[in-house]
Structure 1
Amino acid sequence: MTINVGAALVGVAAALLISACSSAPEKESAGKAESTTLSGPLVEQRWNLLLVGTDERVSLPATPFFQIGRDGQVSGSDGCNRFTGSVKLGENQRIEFSQLASTRMACPNMEDAKRVTDMLDTAYRYLIDHDRLVFFGPDSRVLGGWREAN
């Protein structure tokens, strides 16, 4: 059985676009207390990179991945360097990565590693469909896809 992953991501993207277009981006309320414990399907799960954009594969020494802890910390690898940072999850599948810091090893194809971290920096919303995670930018453009690690 052949699965067209790019077409599947575009289909998932269309479903989220309908949802995202029906509501304006929400602003965080200044008086709202921050939750220090995260939960949900994104948390405490390793996510391996599947695609950048809707169909581009990257060529790196190792598979890029990330994992979000209950404490709101994210850690992973861009395929070359390890990174850590913070993540906030909000209503309507809102996600925001911040304070990303990484090691600075020289690796072949650094442009692809940068594309992975740029995807995290730009992620605005997410959608989970079975074992797939798709990130979208603020303009609702598909930034890339990840697969749940077994």
Structure 2
Amino acid sequence: MMQNRYCDVTLPIHKNVQLKIKKIIMVKIFNLIAIAALLSGCKAGDAAHEAVERELRGSWEITDLRGNKPKTIKPVRIEFSEDNRVNGFLGCNTVRGTYMADIKHQRIKLNGLATTRMTCPDQNFENEMTKALEDAANFTFEDGKLVLSGDDRSPLATFKKISHPEVTNKYWKVVQLDGKAVTMEASQRQEQYFILRSDGTVNGFAGCNNFTGAYQINDGNRIRFNENMAATMRACPNLGFNERGFLEVFRLADRYTVSGDTLQLIVGKRMPLAVFEAVYF
């Protein structure tokens, strides 16, 4: 019976062939590294673009219009939403439309802007504000602020991101003070209210006098108002409302709760010092 005999045979490979094989392997490794780096760069670029998009979305309060600080009583703001809609408040009228943003080149265009048609005391400002929004072609972020500029890159308007939007930049009208309902008296020119602005200032009307000051919101719905609030000194002898008691609320309050359009200012674990309702114009 014959047995098959096998043997391993090693064929010699020419040195040039070996070099060619090594070169091919190195080229493939290099290509794989390059592709991995490209994919990584794309992901990093996408992440950067997404971060800019997230920063752009949200509510912004104007701080500068063509080099001038707005002097409107109510905060002027715009809001960019995820569905490419834009809406805002011009101080008296509201505005809405759509927007397109080229995140990579930081280009922006607001389209189809339409405003309500109420007659306003500062119509010139509203017209300038609307024109600035229509002329906006670029956007940048500078020191946490949003700057809209024209085709020539000249600044048109600067905005500050609105923090704590559930309570800031809203017109809060008092409806209850120290557990008692508050109604507007015939001798009052308007109801008592206050507004927390994005820049950390507060202003309002106490029933006879206007007041202004500063505030700070901390974690856990903690709030503190500057004790040195400034107020006008008008005398209102026919006013039955306790104006001093109203202003005392801001000196004492250290916490707030908000539910929808109802805000309570509280001190410690006591009953609310005052209850307010949001008013929209």
Do they superpose with TM above 0.5? yes
Indicate the percent of aligned positions where both proteins have the same amino acid: 23
Q: Distance in 2 between matches of 1:68 and 1:102?
A: 16
Larger Rg: 2
1:133 and 2:257 matched: no
Residues 65, 84 of structure 1: CA spacing in aligned structure 2 closer, same or farther, 3 A cutoff?
Answer: same
Q: Which residue of 1 aligns with 2:243?
A: 113
User: Is the partner of 2:242 in helix, strand or coil?
Assistant: helix
The one-letter code of the counterpart of 1:102 is A
* Aligned-residue CA RMSD (Å): 2.0
Aligned counterparts, 1:27-42, within 5 A = 39-40=163-164, 41-42=166-167
Q: Which residue of 1 aligns with 2:231?
A: 102
The 8 Å contact of residues 53 and 144 in structure 1, kept in 2 or not, is answered as: yes
Q: Which residue of 2 aligns with 1:63?
A: 191
Q: Which residue of 1 aligns with 2:179?
A: 54
| Deviation for aligned residue 1:91 | 1.1
The 8 Å contact of residues 72 and 88 in structure 1, kept in 2 or not, is answered as: yes
The 8 Å contact of residues 252 and 267 in structure 2, kept in 1 or not, is answered as: yes
Q: Which residue of 1 aligns with 2:254?
A: 124
Q: Distance in 1 between matches of 2:277 and 2:209?
A: 20
Q: Which residue of 1 aligns with 2:133?
A: none
The 8 Å contact of residues 38 and 72 in structure 1, kept in 2 or not, is answered as: no
The 8 Å contact of residues 50 and 147 in structure 1, kept in 2 or not, is answered as: yes
The one-letter code of the counterpart of 2:203 is S
| Deviation for aligned residue 1:38 | 5.8
Structure 1, 109-118 or 82-91: larger mean CA deviation = 109-118
Structure 2: where are the runs of 5+ without partners?
1-159
The 8 Å contact of residues 76 and 82 in structure 1, kept in 2 or not, is answered as: yes
User: Is the partner of 2:273 in helix, strand or coil?
Assistant: strand
| Deviation for aligned residue 1:137 | 1.1
Q: Which residue of 2 aligns with 1:27?
A: none
Structure 1: where are the runs of 5+ without partners?
1-35
The 8 Å contact of residues 192 and 206 in structure 2, kept in 1 or not, is answered as: yes
Q: Would you identify which runs of 4 or more consecutive aligned residues in structure 1 move more than 4 Å?
A: none
